[in-house]
Amino acid sequence: MSDVKKNILVVDDNQLILYGLAKALQSGSFAVQTASTAQSAVDKLALCPYDLCLLDVHLPDVNGLVLLKVIKNISPMTRIIIMTTSCLDSSEVSENISAAIAHGACHFIAKPFNLREVTDVVQQVLTEGEDFHSGFRFTGTGFVKKSRKNPRKPYCENIRFQVSVIDNGIFTRWSLEARAVDLSDGGMGLVTPYPLKEAQVIGFDEKMGSRIGVVAWSRMVDAENCRAGIKFA
């Protein structure tokens, strides 16, 4: 790659993902900026041309696919990689892919992802020529529809879990409560007032065997409760 640093903008409302990607990509000699909302991303794009944008689909203020169109209008030469959960239903995945291709994205990355894998994808996208749009590609196996290896059974218990958050720039460990709604050897479903984010790592107490889990998908089911699918690590 050239000695001139490539400018990258990472847009995601998960602060841990922003921190992890920024740290991983900066170590690869990229200049990285982050934004947790669509408005923040637009403000940054108005000040600096970016070579690449890593863009999450689910943002708190605007759908990422809508922001994709805005980015292309502001900066047509910015290459865009879409990041999204690997556990969306097949119809939503299909719609997202079609919209992303139509509006100029060149790659999909499924969450949760490996930081080294993302860094390799970024290197590839930024070193490709003008034909980088040809052959829209995917990273991660989450887009392949599979039957669940471990069917979940109903399980109704109140449990406690721990999650790491960034609070005023400081990493903090919170202990929270959730209601388990189903369980298998491979994972479980939770309902909690705390809005869990895709790819967050959470820890369970002794009641769940001190297991570690990763949030595979998450969505608000009403104004107060979040429903999340957890995959055990």
pLDDT, tens digit (0-9, with 9 covering 90-100), for 30-73? 999 999 999 999 999 999 889 999 999 889 998 888 999 999 99
Residue 75 φ/ψ, nearest 5 degrees:
-140, 80
Residue 14, in any domain of the structure:
yes
d(CA 10, CA 175) in angstroms, rounded, equals 28
d(CA 70, CA 127) in angstroms, rounded, equals 24
Write down the pLDDT at residue 226: 87
pLDDT, tens digit (0-9, with 9 covering 90-100), for 190-217? 999 998 888 788 899 888 888 888 888 8
Q: What is the mean pLDDT of residues 96-104?
A: 73
Write down the pLDDT at residue 140: 58
The DSSP H or E segment spanning 162 is: strand 153-167
Residue 148, in any domain of the structure:
no
Please give the residue range of the domain that contains residue 178: 153-232
d(CA 208, CA 214) in angstroms, rounded, equals 14
Q: Taking the mean position of all CA atoms in its chain, how far away is CA 176? A: 22
The most confident of 110-124, 136-150, 175-189, by mean pLDDT: 175-189
d(CA 79, CA 62) in angstroms, rounded, equals 19
Instruction: CATH number of the domain at 23, please.
Output: 3.40.50.2300
Shared domain check, 122 and 27: yes
Residue 2, in any domain of the structure:
no
Shared domain check, 188 and 106: no
Shared domain check, 44 and 158: no
